């Protein structure tokens, strides 16, 4: 083989490799899929770490709700609140859910972004299953959304929520579940949308109703019938309630106050157990992830 | 101007294409391939082979079936009928095996601008499950090859268009594919960058044991190919070495300037039966084997000749003649040439 003259002339930073590195790419298997999941997940973290502005801006809304709305309204609502309970404490679980909501959907939306800018193609032409890519994306979104939630979690004291390890771990677990379900939902939607603006418009349209109907801002008992029905349909209800239940079970308040502040979700008078609530969210997340995988199998 | 590279005589590659290139199976084998989108038959039964190690140019106007064929070969589209095997694997039944053995560089960039070059390559290495121990050295090798090793830590968004394309080529090579598909590798780049990309591609041909399958709109770039196929209306119109294709177009173009051009035109018509015209203020005509004709011209034309130029048909001429579009008429006026160019640009959009 002739010596490539251009190479010899070029000032090389290190030893010039003359031998071609032989690479034998293995066939498809679980290990290959795990590596694919891992790298798609890691990319999500790298990009999140690089986008500090996004991390800060997506904190603004939850913080406004928690401290501005929470503090402002407590003057009004104060009279109806049981002794020793702050309105901010009541709003806290909903605000946690909100911070995850934005980050998870934004993270899922980057699929649309990737499609517009071509990078999605790099993923879709690789010899890995579409399932691995979708799963990596969902787990990546789950992780960054939970990290965002953890920032709000650090502010717990300011909302009158105790820093109990059990409570913190319970809430983190619930944030992970919520993050996964929301990302899966976002990815499922993103599979069919080709423009980032369209995706953002659609999610903006969904976020507020989901949030307002979830019981994040008011207790779920004693509502008019139409609102009762709507709140029970909202999937977010089934995660806000377990989170609120976790928070209030760690407060030093009377059982009457607890029942008043965190009555639980009822279906025609029957109180839905926490486990079932979480199960509903988990099943929805899994189903939407499955639909997302099926959608991506169809493309190209 | 000799266009055929000394290292790759036409005969050798033709032998390879004919299947006599040793025991190696062809890198790409296509038999009776068709693709139908509803009513439209984009590819209408094509056959060709690309020998291992060959640089193969796939040319054709837009909508000729070129993109569809590439999509099928890259497993991005399913053929309606026929066989396509890439690196020995069937594109339909062994999709992942094909994917492991091909590198892809698309027309539009598929890099993540918010990652560094190195992170982009690592992403690729993980997706293609490149053995962990090989990732580092192989990454260094491909980045060295395209001269980007020193810039590996920079975000891709800080790269120029040419650097991004080079990085994509490096990435396409990372998993050591047997066939590299380059779809319009230099589109949208300035001439200087285009030629530098070609330096890297030629370098890569020297260094790697690889088959290159490329499309381009630039006919001067097609000269780099060992063989060229021209596709139009869903069918292969011609397939051969650039030299042979140019020879098949036939006539050379001769331009002379004389003491009396009008008399020369009349003389050419009478003595040689050649139709000549003034073009670019020279007496211009087409003739077979122009170089052999010129001595005769000097001997027999009764008018003093001041200068002579003979030019071979270019690949542009070849393309024009095979795609059934306007054959570039040697007598075409400057205005015609402009119009033709505009048409070609429009066709590209």
> What's the 3-state SS for A124-174?
HCCCCCHHHHHHHHHHHHHHHHHHHHHHHHHCHHHHCCCCCHHHHHHHHHH
pLDDT computed for residue A21 by the predictor: 67
Q: Please indicate, yes or no, if residue B327 is contained in any of the structural domains.
A: yes
- DSSP state for residue B201 in the 8-state scheme: H
**Which residues in chain B have their CB less than 8 angstroms from residue A27's CB?**
96-97, 100
Does residue B336 have a pLDDT over 50?
no
- DSSP annotation string for chain A: ----HHHHHS--SSPPP-SPPP-------HHHHHHHHHHHHHHHHHHHHH-HHHHHHHHHHHHIIIIIIHHHHHHHHGGGSPTT--HHHHHHHHHHHHHHHHHHHHHHHHHHHHHHHSHHHHHHTSSS-HHHHHHHHHHHHHHHHHHHHHHHHHTGGGGT----HHHHHHHHHHHHHHHHHHHHHHHHHHTT---HHHHHHHHHHHHHHHHHTTTSSS-SSS--HHHHHHHHH-TTHHHHHHHHHHHHHTS---HHHHHHH----EETTEEPPHHHHHHHHHHHHHHHHHHHHHHHHH--
* Of the candidate ranges B69-83, B138-152, B266-280, the one whose mean pLDDT is the lowest: B266-280
| CA dist., res. B342 & res. B348, Å (int) | 10
Q: How many CB atoms lie under 10 A from the CB of residue B280?
A: 9
Q: Do residues B141 and B274 share a domain? A: no
- More confident position, B153 or B270: B153
Q: Please indicate, yes or no, if residue B135 is contained in any of the structural domains.
A: yes
Q: What is the ipTM of this complex?
A: 0.84
C-alpha distance from A170 to closest chain B C-alpha (Å): 33
pLDDT computed for residue B12 by the predictor: 36
Tell me if B5 sits within 8 A of B54, measured CB to CB: no
For B279, the 3-state DSSP assignment is: strand
Q: What angle do CA A128, A134, A135 make, to 5 degrees?
A: 95
Q: Please indicate, yes or no, if residue B16 is contained in any of the structural domains.
A: yes
Q: Do residues B69 and B122 share a domain? A: yes
Q: Please indicate, yes or no, if residue B308 is contained in any of the structural domains.
A: yes
Q: Do residues B58 and B207 share a domain? A: yes
Rg of chain A taking only CA atoms, in angstroms: 23
pLDDT band, residue B330 (cuts 50/70/90): very low
Q: Looking at B209, B243, B277, which one is the last position of a domain?
A: B243
- Closest Cβ opposite residue A121 in set B110, B128, B150: B110
pLDDT computed for residue A112 by the predictor: 94
pLDDT band, residue B342 (cuts 50/70/90): low
Environment class of B92 (CB within 10 Å of its CB; exposed 0-12, middle 13-18, buried 19+) = middle
- DSSP state for residue B150 in the 8-state scheme: G
Q: Do residues B254 and B239 share a domain? A: no
Mean per-residue pLDDT for B317-341? 52
- What is the spatial order of strands in the sheet that B89-90 belongs to? B40-50, B28-37, B81-86, B89-90
| pLDDT tens-digit series, residues A74-95 | 878 766 777 778 889 999 999 9
| CA dist., res. B182 & res. B50, Å (int) | 14
pLDDT computed for residue A7 by the predictor: 39
Tell me if A186 sits within 8 A of A108, measured CB to CB: yes
pLDDT computed for residue B17 by the predictor: 39
For B244, the 3-state DSSP assignment is: helix
Mean per-residue pLDDT for A256-282? 91
| pLDDT tens-digit series, residues B91-106 | 999 999 999 999 999 8
**Which residues in chain A have their CB less than 8 angstroms from residue B209's CB?**
20
Tokens of B335: 């205005």
What CATH number does the domain containing B165 carry? 3.40.50.300
Percent of chain A at pLDDT above 90? Answer: 62
Q: Looking at B190, B221, B243, which one is the last position of a domain?
A: B243
Residue with tokens 């800080």: B158
C-alpha distance from A160 to closest chain B C-alpha (Å): 39
pLDDT computed for residue A4 by the predictor: 41
Contact A31 B106 (CB under 8 A): no
Q: Do residues B276 and B210 share a domain? A: no
pLDDT computed for residue A10 by the predictor: 40
| pLDDT tens-digit series, residues A113-140 | 999 888 999 999 999 999 999 999 999 9
- DSSP state for residue B78 in the 8-state scheme: -
pLDDT band, residue B218 (cuts 50/70/90): confident
Tell me if B242 sits within 8 A of B56, measured CB to CB: no
C-alpha distances out from residue A191 to A65, A126, A196, B238, B278, Å? 31, 17, 12, 41, 61
Question: What torsion, rounded to 10 degrees, do the Cα atoms B44, B48, B50, B51 define?
Answer: 160
pLDDT computed for residue A237 by the predictor: 95
Q: Do residues B212 and B283 share a domain? A: no
Question: What torsion, rounded to 10 degrees, do the Cα atoms A179, A181, A187, A191 define?
Answer: -170
Q: A–B: how many Cβ contacts below 8 A?
A: 117
Does residue B133 have a pLDDT over 90?
yes
For B31, the 3-state DSSP assignment is: strand
Q: Do residues B213 and B304 share a domain? A: no
pLDDT band, residue A154 (cuts 50/70/90): very high
| pLDDT tens-digit series, residues B248-297 | 777 777 888 888 888 888 888 888 887 777 777 788 877 777 788 888 88
The residue among A14, A23, A130 with the most chain B CBs within 10 A of its CB, best to mutate, is A23
Q: Please indicate, yes or no, if residue B40 is contained in any of the structural domains.
A: yes
Q: Treating both helix axes as pointing N-terminal to C-terminal, what angle do A130-154 and A87-117 enclose, rounded to 10 degrees? A: 150
pLDDT computed for residue A5 by the predictor: 41
Residue with tokens 């993050």: A179
Does residue B10 have a pLDDT over 70?
no
Element (H, E) at B102: strand B102-105
- More confident position, A53 or A79: A53
CB within 8 Å of B323: residues ≥ 6 apart: B60, B61, B64, B230, B232, B237
On whether any CB of chain B is under 8 Å from the CB of A35, the answer is yes
What CATH number does the domain containing B334 carry? 3.30.70
Tokens of A128: 């890995």
On whether any CB of chain B is under 8 Å from the CB of A298, the answer is no
Does residue A15 have a pLDDT over 50?
no
- DSSP annotation string for B304-343: -EEEEEEEPPPHHHHHHHHSSS----TT--HHHHHHHHHH
Q: Please indicate, yes or no, if residue B342 is contained in any of the structural domains.
A: yes
**Which residues in chain A have their CB less than 8 angstroms from residue B99's CB?**
125-127
Q: How many CB atoms lie under 10 A from the CB of residue B128?
A: 25
Tell me if B228 sits within 8 A of B38, measured CB to CB: no
pLDDT computed for residue B86 by the predictor: 96
- DSSP state for residue B156 in the 8-state scheme: G
Contact A20 B123 (CB under 8 A): no
**Residue B105 phi/psi, 5° resolution?**
-125, 110
| pLDDT tens-digit series, residues A17-42 | 456 666 777 777 888 999 999 999 99
pLDDT band, residue B225 (cuts 50/70/90): very high
Q: Do residues B133 and B164 share a domain? A: yes
Does residue B335 have a pLDDT over 80?
no
Tell me if A230 sits within 8 A of A213, measured CB to CB: yes
Environment class of B300 (CB within 10 Å of its CB; exposed 0-12, middle 13-18, buried 19+) = exposed
Q: Do residues B178 and B37 share a domain? A: yes
Mean per-residue pLDDT for A291-297? 93
Contact A38 B134 (CB under 8 A): no
Q: Looking at B195, B227, B243, which one is the last position of a domain?
A: B243
**Which residues in chain B have their CB less than 8 angstroms from residue A125's CB?**
74-76, 99, 104
Closest residue by Cα to residue A123 from A36, A64, A195 = A36
Domain span at residue B169 reads: 10-243
Q: Please indicate, yes or no, if residue B303 is contained in any of the structural domains.
A: yes
Question: What torsion, rounded to 10 degrees, do the Cα atoms B322, B325, B331, B332 define?
Answer: -150
Q: Do residues B230 and B261 share a domain? A: no
CB within 8 Å of A226: residues ≥ 6 apart: none
Closest residue by Cα to residue A293 from A203, A191, A202, A193 = A191
| CA dist., res. B295 & res. B300, Å (int) | 9
Q: Do residues B178 and B254 share a domain? A: no
Percent of chain A at pLDDT above 70? Answer: 91
| CA dist., res. B237 & res. A114, Å (int) | 37
Task: Count the domains in chain B.
Answer: 2
Does residue B222 have a pLDDT over 70?
yes
Q: Do residues B269 and B203 share a domain? A: no
C-alpha distance from A299 to closest chain B C-alpha (Å): 9
Q: Please indicate, yes or no, if residue B1 is contained in any of the structural domains.
A: no
Q: How many CB atoms lie under 10 A from the CB of residue A69?
A: 15
pLDDT band, residue A300 (cuts 50/70/90): low
Mean per-residue pLDDT for B61-65? 82
What mean pLDDT is reported for chain B? 82
C-alpha distances out from residue A74 to A65, A88, A157, A258, B142, Å? 12, 8, 17, 18, 63
Q: How many CB atoms lie under 10 A from the CB of residue B349?
A: 5
pLDDT computed for residue B296 by the predictor: 83
On whether any CB of chain B is under 8 Å from the CB of A43, the answer is yes
- Closest Cβ opposite residue B127 in set A1, A23, A128: A128
pLDDT computed for residue B170 by the predictor: 95
Does residue A209 have a pLDDT over 80?
yes
**Which residues in chain B have their CB less than 8 angstroms from residue A4's CB?**
203, 206-207
Tokens of B201: 């591609």
Mean per-residue pLDDT for A198-217? 91
Mean per-residue pLDDT for B38-52? 93
């Amino acid at each position: 083989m002739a010596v490539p003259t251009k190479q010899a002339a070029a000032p090389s930073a290190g030893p010039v490799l003359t031998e071609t590195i032989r690479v034998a790419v293995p066939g498809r298997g679980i290990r290959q899929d795990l590596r694919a999941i891992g790298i798609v997940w890691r990319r999500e973290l790298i990009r999140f770490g690089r986008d500090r502005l996004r991390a800060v801006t997506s904190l603004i809304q939850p913080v406004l709700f928690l401290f501005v709305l929470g503090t402002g309204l407590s003057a009004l609502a104060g009279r109806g609140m049981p002794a020793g309970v702050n309105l901010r404490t009541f709003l806290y679980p909903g605000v946690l859910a909100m911070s995850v909501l934005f980050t998870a959907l934004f993270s899922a939306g980057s699929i649309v972004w990737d499609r517009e800018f071509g990078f999605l193609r790099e993923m879709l032409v690789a010899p890995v299953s579409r399932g691995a890519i979708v799963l990596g994306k969902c787990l990546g979104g789950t992780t960054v959304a939970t990290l965002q939630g953890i920032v709000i979690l650090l502010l717990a004291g300011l909302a009158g929520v105790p820093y109990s390890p059990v409570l913190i771990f319970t809430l983190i677990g619930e944030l992970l579940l919520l993050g996964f379900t929301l990302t899966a939902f976002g990815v499922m939607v993103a599979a069919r949308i080709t423009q980032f603006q369209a995706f953002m418009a659609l999610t903006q349209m969904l976020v507020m109703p989901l949030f307002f109907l979830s019981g994040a801002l008011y207790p779920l008992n004693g509502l008019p019938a139409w609102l009762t029905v709507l709140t029970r349909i909202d999937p977010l209800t089934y995660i806000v309630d377990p989170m609120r239940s976790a928070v209030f079970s760690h407060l030093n308040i009377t059982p009457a106050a607890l029942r008043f502040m965190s009555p639980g979700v009822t279906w025609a008078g029957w109180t839905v157990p926490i486990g079932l609530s979480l199960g509903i969210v988990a099943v929805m997340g899994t189903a939407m992830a499955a639909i997302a995988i099926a959608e991506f199998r169809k493309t190209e | 101007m000799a266009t055929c590279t000394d290292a790759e005589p036409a005969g050798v590659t033709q032998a390879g294409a004919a299947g006599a290139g040793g025991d190696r199976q062809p890198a790409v084998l296509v038999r009776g391939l068709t693709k139908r989108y509803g009513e439209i038959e984009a590819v209408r039964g094509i056959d060709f082979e690309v020998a291992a190690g060959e640089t193969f140019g796939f040319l054709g106007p837009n909508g000729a079936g070129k993109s569809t064929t590439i999509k099928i070969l890259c497993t991005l589209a399913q053929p309606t009928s026929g066989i396509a095997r890439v690196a020995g694997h069937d594109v339909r039944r062994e999709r992942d095996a094909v994917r492991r053995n091909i590198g892809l560089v698309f027309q539009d960039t598929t890099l993540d601008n918010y990652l560094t070059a190195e992170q982009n390559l690592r992403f690729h290495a993980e997706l293609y499950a490149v053995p962990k121990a090989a990732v580092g050295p192989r990454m260094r090798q491909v980045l060295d090859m395209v001269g980007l090793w020193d810039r590996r830590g920079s975000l891709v968004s800080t790269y120029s268009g040419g650097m991004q394309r080079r990085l994509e080529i490096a990435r396409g090579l990372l998993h050591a594919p047997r066939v590299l598909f380059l779809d319009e590798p230099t589109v949208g780049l300035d001439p200087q960058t285009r030629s530098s990309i070609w330096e890297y591609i030629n370098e890569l041909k020297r260094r790697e044991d690889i088959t290159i399958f490329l499309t381009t709109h630039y006919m001067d770039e097609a000269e780099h190919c060992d063989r060229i196929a021209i596709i139009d209306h869903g069918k292969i119109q011609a397939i051969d070495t650039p030299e042979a294709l140019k020879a098949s177009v036939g006539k050379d173009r001769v331009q002379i300037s004389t003491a009396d051009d009008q008399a020369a035109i009349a003389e050419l018509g009478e003595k040689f039966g050649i139709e000549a015209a003034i073009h670019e203020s020279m007496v211009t005509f087409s003739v077979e084997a122009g170089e052999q004709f010129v001595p005769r011209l000097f001997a027999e034309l009764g008018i003093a000749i001041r200068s002579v130029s003979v030019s071979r048909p270019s690949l542009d001429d070849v393309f024009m003649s095979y795609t059934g579009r306007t054959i570039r008429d040697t007598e075409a006026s400057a205005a015609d040439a402009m119009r033709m160019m505009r048409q070609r640009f429009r066709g590209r959009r």
